[in-house]
Amino acid sequence: MEINKKRNNRLKLFLILFIGFIVFFIFLGITTFDTGNDYQHKIFTDINELDKITEFTSETIKNDKFLKDLVPVDSFNAKIKWQNNLFYVYAYEFESVVDCMKYVKNRNMSYFDEESYHLSGNILSHNKYIVYSQNKVLYIEGPALKHLYDFLEFATKDFNNIID
């Protein structure tokens, strides 16, 4: 009798955990449903094109540990509070595309040996987006992908340099 109770308790615990995992993954799928597949990936031609988001800057980011020994020609780094969401924006103009690729590699993100590339990914509730072209790179971290792509749509609306 005692053994049957233990088995039943273990079975109940297993079912509760199993159902909990299913609910968690359904929640995760719902919060990351908008993957931005229809999003037109763009990058600035001139870093000053990011001036339109400076009014939403909550804090300037002083150091970027992922630069390591790279020295950008120009940069824009800020924490942006937009529509009650916080975004970390890092934009750099380097001497060459090789430096851009090094920066992407320093960020531990996949990249290809190409002159332009875009990538986005999600780590549970934190999302990353990176795009580089020639000697420019734009990296943004933010909340759920839907909010991230809404912000990208706003921030890059006037950019003319489209990355396929």
In this structure, which amino acid lies at residue 18?
F
What pLDDT score was predicted for residue 121?
A: 60
In whole numbers, what is the pLDDT of the chain averaged over residues? Answer: 80
- Calpha distance 142→71 (Å, rounded): 25
8-state DSSP, 109 = -
Task: Map tokens 């870093």 to a residue.
Answer: 47
Tell me the percentage of the chain whose pLDDT exceeds 90. 20
What pLDDT score was predicted for residue 113?
A: 60
Band the pLDDT of 79: cuts 50, 70, 90. very high
Average pLDDT, stretch 148-152? 86
What pLDDT score was predicted for residue 150?
A: 87
Instruction: Give the Cβ contact number of residue 151 at 10 Å.
Output: 22
Q: Coil, strand, or helix at residue 28?
A: helix
What pLDDT score was predicted for residue 110?
A: 64
What pLDDT score was predicted for residue 92?
A: 95
What pLDDT score was predicted for residue 94?
A: 95
What pLDDT score was predicted for residue 148?
A: 84
The length of the chain is: 164
